[in-house]
A and B are shown apart, each in its own frame.
Chain A
């Protein structure tokens, strides 16, 4: 148990569906991240939020829409995805660079399959 919880653990969705991934942390961190992990590819940083403000968007397609309503919660809204978007989506949290440093803590991930 790392203190970062992701739901659901598994998700199968059609290309026309709309779904959301949820991430929750109660570690008192103020930075949260979404990563995509595809088979045989490196971990890709998608989004970074610091104090609920998006500070990084790594050229992610608009069919992925993040939302950070508060420092404890992070969502990834999905719509009209493609089969190549199938991957393990990992959420992480840490303190941001303005605070005492901590490492990033990761959730267990959501295994997404787009059919």
Chain B
């Protein structure tokens, strides 16, 4: 079975500051990794994904994430955040041999002016 841990339930940050949202996963088989963003009263939108290849993945809205197999981590980063980045961010994992997409508990990013 797979599991995802997002250690930070809330991350407050000032506008134009850098941010890192942490994600660790557990799996006995190879996995695909994802970050999704959810704005209020909306569904989930894909930010970026790691399938294979380069461990540094770039996504939309200036976000990027790095896959670290030895630390089983997939942390999300942005060098300079905007007010509009205020949202809930979810890390997710899907094992190669299943159709189950498992989510972490989410991190609320709050950007202040």
A residues apposed to B, CB below 8 Å: 2, 4, 6, 31, 33, 35, 41-43, 45, 48, 50, 55-56, 90, 92, 94, 96-97, 101, 103-109, 111
Cβ-Cβ contact count across A and B, 8 Å cutoff: 57
Name the B residues within 8 Å of A96 (CB-CB). Answer: 99
- By DSSP majority rule, is chain B's interface helix, strand, loop, or mixed? loop
B residues near A (Cβ < 8 Å) are 32, 34, 36, 41-46, 49, 51, 90, 96-106
Q: In angstroms, how far is the closest chain A Cβ from the Cβ of B88?
A: 10
Closest CB-CB distance, B103 to chain A, in whole Å?
A: 4
What is the chain B residue whose CB lies nearest that of A95? B99
What are 8 A-B contacts with C-beta separation under 8 Å? A2-B43, A4-B43, A42-B103, A92-B44, A92-B101, A97-B96, A104-B34, A108-B42
